[in-house]
Structure 1
Amino acid sequence: MTRTRAYHDGELRKEDFPVSAVSDFLAEPDTVVWVDLCEPSEADLGELAGELGLHRLAVEDALQEHQRPKLDRYDGHAFLTAYAVRPGSADEPTTTAELAVFITPRALVTVRKDDGFDIEGVTRRWDQAPDLAKAGVPFLLHGLLDDVVDGHFDAVQALDDDVEDLEDLVFDDRPDTGELQRSSFRLRKNLSALRRVVVPVPDVVASLMRPDLRLADDTTRPYFEDVRDHARQAADHTEALRERLTTIRETQLNLQSDRLNLIMKKVTGWAAVIAVPTAVTGFYGQNVLYPGNGTVGGFWVSTTVMLVLSVGLYVLFRKRDWL
């Protein structure tokens, strides 16, 4: 599926025209064009590359999947790779949608590897900011990046909520250790997937603001700086979540160790209490004569010794919080 738009002097002139008409619009002064291709074939992208003079290496990167977020500069245009993110949870994985962008002086081309990227959200942002449309390609690029970075921020916030729920689960009186470990593992996987596509974005946006690209002028620079600031916040928050998950894991292990020590302390205390009557009855069960052997008095003496020593140990261990 192909989407196209042409802006003339900041006003939307036409949309959904064929790709073959791109060069006709670009022949007109003060006109910029946007072309969106979803899952294009090599032939489809090759036709557009011929229209706009796109570099062969950039076209190859646009067709290949799993590119890292980056900005490459070629003679006459730049090539950008970014990822939209759909938030996951402790039960669902975080999903990403790869986006390749060709940036020329008067045209913006977006290549989506699948339909996971909501391009309608980008067009709505453009329609809501007609005052910036006269900026041309920087206006289109800003709306695209703003939508991508806002998606990153939403994904980080959703993951933050899941981490808070995990923190509450750690300190339950009777935590479900299996569920806790499964949730922690899934969140770490989601965070790793999110971190790969979020952390490089601030540097990519900063590169777009370089004077030699002529994208961020006096009008658009504050808007690009705002996007970079949001991207930096999302990246910093992602790193903070990584540290929090590490802390949760360490806390979980410490709590398990404390619970194990408490159990061992109580078991040892009860074993000591039980050992006293065992020792007394073992002594009085000897096959030799001793004072009180075979008499009622000897029975009561042994019973009294067992009770006194057992109660004494119980009271002592309770005072020391061993039981």
Structure 2
Amino acid sequence: MTKVTGRLWRDGEPHDDEFAFDAISDCLASERQLVWADIYDPDHDTLRLLAAELGLNTWAVEDAVAPKERTKTAVYQSHTFFTVYALGTHEPAGDSASMLVKHRISAFVLPRALITVRLPGLNSGAAEFDIGEVSRRFDELGGQSHGVGALVHGLLDVVVDGHFDAVQVLDDAIEALEDELFSGSGDRAEPHGLQRRTFRVRKDLVDLRRVVLPVREVVSTIQHRRLDARTSPELDPLYADLYDHVLRASEWTESLRDMVTTVFETNLSLQDARLNTVMKKLTGWAAIIAVPTAITGFYGQNVLYPGVDTVAGFLTSSAVIVVLVVVLYAMFKRRDWL
């Protein structure tokens, strides 16, 4: 169900009670006003009417509600459009379930307005994106005095912080896999559990990489668009710091991909090493068992030989078996074959 909320500022003072979605174009007619409209789970007709009222690009409107749209930005003559994904985490229901929760956010940036379009999270029951945090950060920056650039910065700052939190969760998950890998507890409890969890983390990292890496281009494009407009130079250091955070999140994501690949390969190597150890011990015990089998088989022939049907022959064969078994056991133990 479509839900519309918004805020209105006039001369630097909030007038949220005067916000009306049907009259956004009237609010933008005055240079003294700044508007932010947030549309959650929109229907196509709502966006189409808004696009006609504000002169938004038709293809950008289609992209805002199209399924599985990628992270991107596009600059038009009257506005800038971008799509990003906010990330959250939750406890997965099983070894194969994802830990990530993605919230898609599209935005139309006009000279005195920001229109955000949000779609429901892809995981049922997961917490929704906290859009109120964007408003709080905008107020912390000084509100309308920095224009719509402060609103965009607040939105992207919250999104990037969520990326950092998601990367940290996956980092902790990989460390848990490493501890389980070398303790061997996972293999004893459930042979395929560690493999499933490793594969799940690899899938989450692929999704994380698709979301985090393109944000660099989004921030860079918006920052240069602002510089071209020569507005709010006070925000330039903040955007530079935001871009640095995006780079750090991207580099961290890349390093985690290498780490989980190492965990996966190390697990295979340890399995091979354990298999070799088992085969080595089985071979050693088979050699030990073969000695008494050979001797008793010799004495079991239906032919006459020295010591047949005598106590001395039985004692001699038993002594030979014991001596050879002890000698082989000592030799294999000294070479760590058992």
* TM-score interval, smaller chain: over 0.9
Q: What residue is the counterpart of 1:144 in the other structure?
A: 155
Deviation at 1:70, TM superposition (A): 0.4
**How far 1:27 sits from its partner (Å)?**
1.9
Specify the alignment match of 2:198 in structure 1: 184
Gaps of 5+ in 1: none
Q: Does 1:120 align with 2:132?
A: yes
Q: Deviations over 1:241-293 (max 9, x none)?
A: 11111111111111111111111111111111111111111112222222222
Counterpart for residue 289 of structure 1: 304
User: In structure 1, what is the equivalent of residue 255 of structure 2?
Assistant: 240
Cα distance in structure 2, aligned partners of 1:89 and 1:216 = 43
The equivalent of 2:38 in structure 1 is 36
Distance across 1 between alignment mates of 2:17 and 2:73: 27
- Give the drift of 1:213: 4.9
Deviations 1:80-124 (A, max 9, x none): 000111114554521211111001111111011227322112112
Contact residue 87 and residue 159 of structure 1 kept, 8 A: no
Which one-letter code corresponds to 2:179 in the other structure?
D
In structure 2, C-alpha distance between the alignment counterparts of 1:208 and 1:137, rounded to whole Å: 11
Instruction: Give 1:123's aligned amino acid.
Output: S
Per the alignment, do residues 248 and 107 of structure 1 end up closer, same or farther by CA in structure 2, a change over 3 Å counting? same
The answer to whether structure 1 residue 97 and structure 2 residue 112 are counterparts is no
The residue aligned with 1:270 is: 285
Q: Tell me, what secondary structure is at the counterpart of 1:71? A: strand
8 A contact 1:65–1:113 mirrored in 2: no
Q: Return the alpha-carbon distance in structure 2 between the equivalents of residues 119 and 215 of structure 1.
A: 28
Give the residue type in structure 2 aligned to 1:259.
Answer: R
1:8 is displaced (CA, Å) by: 2.9
Q: Which residue number corresponds to residue 63 of structure 2?
A: 61
Per-residue CA deviation, residues 8-49 of structure 1 (Å, 9 max, x unaligned), is 343323356212222222222232211111122222212222
CA distance, structure 1, for counterparts of residue 205 and residue 38 of structure 2: 29
Moved more, 60-69 or 285-294: 285-294
Mapped partners of 1:67, 1:259: distance in 2: 46
Superposed CA deviations along residues 144-177 of structure 1, whole A, max 9, x for unmatched, are 0000110111111111111111111111244332
Amino acid at match of 1:144: L
Matched to 1:119, the amino acid is: I
Which whole-Å CA distance do the structure 2 matches of 1:262 and 1:185 have between them? 26
From 111, 115, 132, the equivalent of 1:109 is: 115
Shift of the 56–213 alpha-carbon distance from structure 1 to 2, 3 Å rule, reads farther
d(CA) in 1 for partners of 2:320 and 2:23?
105
Which residue is equivalent to 2:167? 156
> Is residue 138–residue 215 contact of structure 1 (8 Å, CA) maintained in 2?
no
Q: Which residue of 2 aligns with 1:301?
A: 316
Higher mean displacement: 11-20 or 236-245: 11-20
- Which segment is superposed worse, 23-32 or 103-112? 23-32
Please show how residues 158-173 of structure 1 align to structure 2 within 5 Å. 158-173=169-184
> Which amino acid letter does the alignment assign opposite residue 23 of structure 2?
A
Deviation digits for residues 116-144 of structure 1 (CA, Å, limit 9, x no counterpart): 322112112222322x5311010110000
What's 1:134 paired with?
145
User: Is contact 2:71–2:82 with CA below 8 Å preserved after alignment?
Assistant: yes
Corresponding residue for residue 70 of structure 1: 72
**Could you tell which deviates more after superposition, 102-111 or 281-290?**
281-290
Contact preservation (8 Å) 1:98, 1:114: yes
- CA distance in 2 between partners of 1:42 and 1:15 (Å): 26
- Counting matched residue pairs gives 322
Identical positions, percent: 48
Cα pair 2:40 2:119 within 8 Å, conserved: yes
What code does the residue aligned with 1:235 have? S
Q: Specify the SS of the correspondent of 1:290.
A: coil
**Does the 8 Å contact 2:31/2:112 carry over to 1?**
no
Q: Which amino acid is the alignment partner of residue 102 of structure 2?
A: T
Q: 119-128 or 67-76, which moves further after superposition?
A: 119-128
**Matched residues in 1 for 2:261 and 2:152: separation?**
37
What residue number does 1:317 align with?
332
User: Could you tell which deviates more after superposition, 221-230 or 135-144?
Assistant: 221-230
Provide the rounded CA distance (Å) in 2 between the counterparts of 1:109 and 1:27.
16
TM-score (norm 2): 0.89
* Cα distance between partner residues in 2 of 1:35 and 1:121: 15
Distance 1:145 1:269 in 2: 64
Structure 2 unaligned blocks of 5 or more: 122-127
Structure 1 match to 2:125: none
